[in-house]
Amino acid sequence: MPELAEVEQLKNYLLKCCINKTINKVLIRDENFLEISETELNKTLKNKRIESIQRHGKYLFVDIGNKFIVLHFGMTGDVQTFKNIKNEPKFSKVLFKFTDGSFLSYISIRKFGKILITNNAEQFIENRKFGPDALKMSLNEFQNALKRRSAYIKSTLMNQEVIAGLGNLYSDEVLYQSKIFPKKKTNLLTKDDIENLFNCIKSVLKVAIDKKGHLEQYPQNFIIPHRDLEEKCPRCNGILTRYEISGRHGFYCGKCQK
């Protein structure tokens, strides 16, 4: 589930299903996801009410009054609420039981996600050196974040210390929409390129959030539905090119993105 738009969707789900619920117990199904023991986790979370939820980039901060539960979803993370323990989903890694008897599972097929506790969400973001959230950032923040960066623009966009929230798919998408070549060096972009890119980030994320991260529902003028060999550019009908940066695969249109 997990780039910014998908995490936003998970946030909305948790707001709908878990807000104001009080945690009764936590069961750890796979200790790889935490750095503290079940006993210690229960000591911290028992009888705490979920007051609000914030998102920064791909992270969620669940406000339990005096602390925050930090959720990161790796590549396959998800959440699911249910009423009967018999319905605990497959790949449930951490199980939260609420005082009303309902449950919340933190699910992950692989083991890349993390659940942490922090006293201060802003401090956590600062310690991790995360850049501004891609959805909330201003043009000025974006311009500053890109300043003096010499990496490929694709790498810059995926670097969470520059801006937070974009991953492999959405970085490809915003570059496609703004007609920028993924291996263009960041510091060679013009002021117009950067403004254009900024506007495309905002518009792509808006569509993605409206579609609740359901990739199959994305418009046909997006490159995301065409991420495959032999697929054609929806704009110019040219064959899309598959490329690689640091082991990540992406697609671009060689004709549109110079």
Q: Which residues bind DNA (CB under 7 A)?
A: 1-3, 6, 32, 57-58, 72, 74-75, 91, 109-112, 128, 149-152, 155-156, 158, 160, 167-169, 186, 213, 215, 244-249
Which residue number, 91 or 181, has a Cβ lying nearer to DNA? Answer: 91
Beta carbons within 10 angstroms of residue 51's beta carbon: 12
Residue 137 in contact with residue 145, Cβ under 8 Å?
A: yes
Q: How far is the CB of 16 from DNA (least distance, A)?
A: 20
Q: Which of 114, 157, 150, 113 is nearest to 134 (CA)?
A: 157
Q: How far is the CB of 111 from DNA (least distance, A)?
A: 4
Q: How far is the CB of 52 from DNA (least distance, A)?
A: 22
How far is the C-alpha of 220 from the C-alpha of 2, rounded, in Å?
Answer: 22
Which residue number, 53 or 169, has a Cβ lying nearer to DNA? Answer: 169
Q: How far is the CB of 103 from DNA (least distance, A)?
A: 21
How do 114-118 and 68-72 pair as beta strands?
antiparallel
Which residue number, 45 or 158, has a Cβ lying nearer to DNA? Answer: 158
Q: How far is CA 43 from CA 37, 46, 56, 126, in A?
A: 10, 6, 26, 26
Residue 169 in contact with residue 228, Cβ under 8 Å?
A: no
How far is the C-alpha of 59 from the C-alpha of 121, rounded, in Å?
Answer: 10
DSSP helix/strand/coil, 33? helix
Q: How far is the CB of 150 from DNA (least distance, A)?
A: 4
Which residue number, 32 or 138, has a Cβ lying nearer to DNA? Answer: 32
DSSP annotation of 239 reads B
Which residue number, 24 or 155, has a Cβ lying nearer to DNA? Answer: 155
